[in-house]
Amino acid sequence: MDLLEQLGDVAVPEVPAAREFTAAVRRKLHPRLLALHVAEFAVGATVWGARHMLVALFAAVVFTVTGSWPRAVKRLPPLAN
């Protein structure tokens, strides 16, 4: 008996009702998505905050050593994703 004949004899479970399926998706998927979004935001915000804090600290060190503020930087280059 080849594989296709074996698969022809396998019973296929019934498709769940739309209401039950939607409820299962909400129960299982939504909390995971929320946790992923919160974690991604926390990591991204931490990196962004640390980057800007380091720029400010570097400017303070330059001011301490040279006695004048560094030239203004128009914008920081964007972080690579």
Q: Residue 52: CB partners within 8 Å, gap ≥ 6?
A: 76
The conformational region for residue 67 under phi > 0 = left, psi -120 to 50 = alpha, else beta, is left
pTM exceeds cut of 0.85: no
**What is the pLDDT at residue 79?**
67
CA dist 12 and 31 (Å) reads 29
> Could you report the per-residue pLDDT of 57-73, keeping only the tens digit for each?
988 898 899 888 777 76
CA dist 34 and 28 (Å) reads 11
CB 43 within 8 A of CB 18: no
